[in-house]
Amino acid sequence: MHLKNSKTIVIKIGSSLLVDKNKKIRKKWLSSFAKDIKKLKEKKKKIIIVSSGAIALGCIKMNYNKSNIKLDKSQAIASVGQIELMNLFSKIFLKSKLNISQILLTLDDTEERRRSINAKRTFENLFDLNYIPIVNENDTIATSEIKYGDNDRLASRVAQITNADTLILLSDVDGLFTKNPKKFKNAKLIKEINNLDKDIQNIHTKGITKLGSGGMNTKIEAAKICNLAGCNMVIANGLYLNPINQIEKKNNCTWFFSRISKLHARKKWIISSVSPKGELTIDDGAKRALKNGKSLLAAGIKKVSGKFYKGDHIKILDNKRQEFARGLSSFSSQEINKIIGCHSNEIGEILGYVSKSEVVHKDDMVEV
């Protein structure tokens, strides 16, 4: 039901779903997962997969034991395993006629606005091209200080920057329980969390934090990020065949519902950004267009002040130099100075590269 209403869905799969305890690759499972994805694509959903498994598959290939490897060695192993991982996806997804691409992210790519806007654009272009982005942390260069460290939080950041409606964390547990289900027979699966901070206090998470590959703590952290981003999240057992279909049919999982609307979350994020780096003064026509929910185009800009980069927070002033809106600029001040007043289809020629035509996209703008 909830998936039906979701346009953009991020699905995280843990290593334990791809590789079993005997270090065998679960190809049958992955084929069934691909079929689920195919069905979602047929319903015109935008899908992003966040997959772990680079280190696990690298270990299998190189005959190492995952538990006693130091960080620098695991980074080298991940660079071998990432190829194995993508080959695996490529082979199996192709059988379901699904095209895939690879995106490797480091912490700054989602934390820094400019880089996150770039990443968001790449995701959007891949959706347009009908390719499914498969994301992992760039393990080969991420050291502990600059690491997400777990794909639960990475997936929630991806959900946040892509404005996703739902994040599915496929794990090896059914979800969140009232007590540790391994110890207590009367432990009950919690089906819905509607008020994260309040509900979590009433749950005995201590005993259940050790379950699952990423642990329950990182999943709760991911839920907090999603909650603030206006994105719903679900923890479900992914060990079954056709895991997405299972969620839709059985709903034997834990849903975290965000009470904030996505647009509200994004706008709040924009308005609460650090001090604006510059100003754009616009003409009356552009002001009218913005009031009607349109994006800001170069043609409507009269003046640029300040020095700023793509993704920076800027003020938008009207003809009387009254602050009218705030937003994130899709171009640097230097670029805007070149394209100011120009028609959107001239931008490519002036700048020498093809770019987006909106100077401030409507989703990146808040009226003040």
Q: Which residue has the tokens 């319903």?
A: 43
193 binds ligand GLU (CB under 6 A): no
150 binds ligand GLU (CB under 6 A): yes
77 binds ligand GLU (CB under 6 A): no
Contacts 24+ apart (CB under 8 A), 316-323: 316/279, 316/280, 316/282, 316/290, 316/360, 316/365, 317/279, 317/280, 317/281, 317/282, 318/281, 318/282, 318/284, 318/287, 319/281, 319/282, 319/283, 319/284, 319/287, 321/281, 323/368
Q: How far apart are CA 161 and CA 265, in angstroms?
A: 11
Shortest CB 100 distance to ligand GLU, Å: 15
Among candidate residues 184, 231, 183, 367, the one with its CA nearest the CA of residue 289: 367
109 binds ligand GLU (CB under 6 A): no
Shortest CB 223 distance to ligand GLU, Å: 15
Pick one of 133, 214, 278, 311: the residue that binds ligand GLU (CB under 6 A): 214
75 binds ligand GLU (CB under 6 A): no
84 binds ligand GLU (CB under 6 A): no
106 binds ligand GLU (CB under 6 A): no
Shortest CB 66 distance to ligand GLU, Å: 9
8 binds ligand GLU (CB under 6 A): no
Angstrom distances, CA of residue 160 to CA of 53, 119, 182: 22, 12, 33
170 binds ligand GLU (CB under 6 A): no
312: left (phi over 0), alpha (psi -120 to 50) or beta: beta
30 binds ligand GLU (CB under 6 A): no
Q: Which residues pair with 11 in a beta bridge?
A: 49, 168
Pick one of 11, 47, 53, 106: the residue that binds ligand GLU (CB under 6 A): 53
Stretch that binds ligand GLU, among 48-56, 89-97, 102-110, 200-208 (CB under 6 A): 48-56
165 binds ligand GLU (CB under 6 A): no
Pick one of 10, 34, 40, 54: the residue that binds ligand GLU (CB under 6 A): 54
The values of phi and psi at residue 103, to 5°, are -130, 120
> Site residues (CB under 6 A) for ligand GLU?
14-15, 52-56, 78, 136-137, 139, 150-151, 213-214
